[in-house]
Amino acid sequence: MQMRALVTGASAGLGAEFARQLAADGFALVLVARSADRLRSLAAQLPVETEVLVADLLTDEGLERVAARLDDDARPVDVLVNNAGFAVAEPFHESTVEDEQRMHELLSWVPLRLAHAALPGMRRRGAGGILNVASLAGRLPSGSYAASKAHVIALSRSLHARYRRDGVTVTALLPGFVPTEFHDRMGVSPDVVPRAGWANPSSVVREGLRALRTRRGVVVSDWRYRLAAPFASLVPDRLIAGVGLGARIERVGTADAVRESPRTDAQTDRP
Ligand SMILES: NC(=O)c1ccc[n+]([C@@H]2O[C@H](COP(=O)([O-])OP(=O)(O)OC[C@H]3O[C@@H](n4cnc5c(N)ncnc54)[C@H](OP(=O)(O)O)[C@@H]3O)[C@@H](O)[C@H]2O)c1
């Protein structure tokens, strides 16, 4: 029987790449995001059966519709990719509490809610995979974005340890910097990250899917980040906080750090 995967945040960046690679692996797909046109245009390019589920995961109605789809035993979802996300650009002392809450919900509550909807069916069927796109930032003291990602890493590790024996794998994928629309949406110039620091989006996705297939709990993507990760815990917190993306934006200043972005609509719409 054909396997099916549901990908959140599939209209752009890593999510669209997850959809392409899962389709190449023969998965039928359920694509979730707010941008209907972009999802439909991606679906039209994929050589597999594809459902488009337009939903704002920051609304109760949108989130519950996606949860209900995951809970539908008649059309089971074998793999859930919790990928949708954004980051608040402003440093913590300047951000609005509404933006902080929306980021925290999308990065922490939404993956938990959707895993909670998907896991019982996977457990009953004795097979399934949940891939949570976290971030290397989740292992570092680098702001409230990092704190939300730390939550999803801890959740993934707990669920993986508990449900592996039932045939369900839960993997946290920890990318470093990846060139997607993520930084554009924050209104941050890619120049705040040195060229050598960017990882290739298709390699990041490939490594995530391989980790899920090989039933790993946590994977840091890109060999350079894997090499650097163990040393990060040796560096004092205040130094890490001083070189994180937030600190760079503060130092460079918004005038220099923010470039004219072709996605001004997305910025104004920023969740
Ligand atoms: N890029 C990086 O450097 C990097 C590094 C580490 C981790 N990550 C993580 O990777 C994941 C994917 O990010 P990306 O880099 O691919 O960013 P991206 O290119 O900006 O894509 C973000 C995706 O999330 C969707 N989304 C945002 N808000 C949503 C909402 N309220 N409801 C439904 N969908 C929503 C967007 O679709 P719509 O706008 O159409 O809704 C879009 O498809 C995120 O969890 C991010 O934190 C990224």
132 close to ligand 1 (CB < 6 Angstrom)? no
Q: Does ligand 1 come within 6 angstroms of the Cβ of 187?
A: no
* Sequential DSSP letters for 47-115: SS-EEEEE--TTSHHHHHHHHHHHT-TTS--SEEEE-------S-TTTS-HHHHHHHHIIIIIHHHHHH
Ligand 1 centre to CA of 271 (Å) is 11
What one-character DSSP code corresponds to residue 139?
G
Ligand 1 within 6 A of 83 CB? yes
- Identify the sign of the CA torsion 17, 23, 24, 25: positive
The answer to whether the CB of 9 is under 6 A from ligand 1 is yes
Higher pLDDT, 7 or 190: 7
CB of 181 closer than 6 angstroms to any ligand 1 atom: yes
Residues 170 and 211: their CA atoms lie apart, in Å, by 10
Average pLDDT over residues 133-138: 95
- DSSP string for 190-228: GGGS-GGGBPPHHHHHHHHHHHHHTT-SEEE-SHHHHHH
Ligand 1, residues 86, 99, 130, 152: which to mutate, most atoms within 8 A of Cβ? 86
Residue-wise DSSP of 169-184: EEEEEE--B--SSHHH
Q: What number does the ligand 1 atom closest to the CA of 182 have? A: 20
| Residue bearing the bigger pLDDT, 267 or 210 | 210
Q: Is the pLDDT of residue 19 over 60?
A: yes
* Ligand 1 centroid distance, CA of 1 (Å): 30
- Residue of the nearest CA to atom 7 in ligand 1? 135
Catalytic residue set: 145
**Residue 231 pLDDT:** 81
Residue 230: band (very low, low, confident or very high) from pLDDT cuts 50, 70, 90 = confident
**To the nearest whole number, what is the mean pLDDT of the chain?**
89
DSSP element (H, E) containing 138: none
Q: Are strands 28-33 and 218-220 parallel, antiparallel or unpaired?
A: unpaired
For ligand 1, whether the C-beta of 135 sits within 6 Å is: yes
- Give which of 72, 81, 73, 59 is closest to 211, Cα–Cα: 81
If pLDDT is split at 50, 70 and 90, which confidence band does 267 have?
Answer: very low
* Cβ 172 under 6 angstroms from ligand 1: no
pLDDT (mean) for 163-189:
94
Does the pLDDT value for residue 246 go beyond 70? no
239 CA to middle of ligand 1, Å? 27
Rank 77-81, 187-191, 234-238, 241-245 by mean pLDDT and report only the highest: 77-81
Output the residue whose Cα is nearest ligand 1's atom 43: 9
> How far, in Å, is the centroid of ligand 1 from the Cα of 166?
30
Sorting pLDDT into bands at 50, 70 and 90, what band is 229?
confident
Would you say 124 and 221 are in contact if contact means Cβ atoms under 8 Å apart?
A: no
Domains, the chain, in order of start with CATH, read: 4-268 (3.40.50.720)
At residue 187, the 3 state secondary structure works out as coil
Question: Taking 90 as the threshold, does the pLDDT of residue 69 lie above it?
Answer: yes
Report the alpha-carbon distance of residue 149 to residue 190 in Å, rounded. 21
Q: Which amino acid is at 169?
A: T
Tokens standing for residue 170:
């839960």
Q: How far is the CA of 182 from the centre of ligand 1 (A)?
A: 6
Q: For 34-38, 44-48, 188-192, which range has the lowest pLDDT when averaged over its residues?
A: 188-192
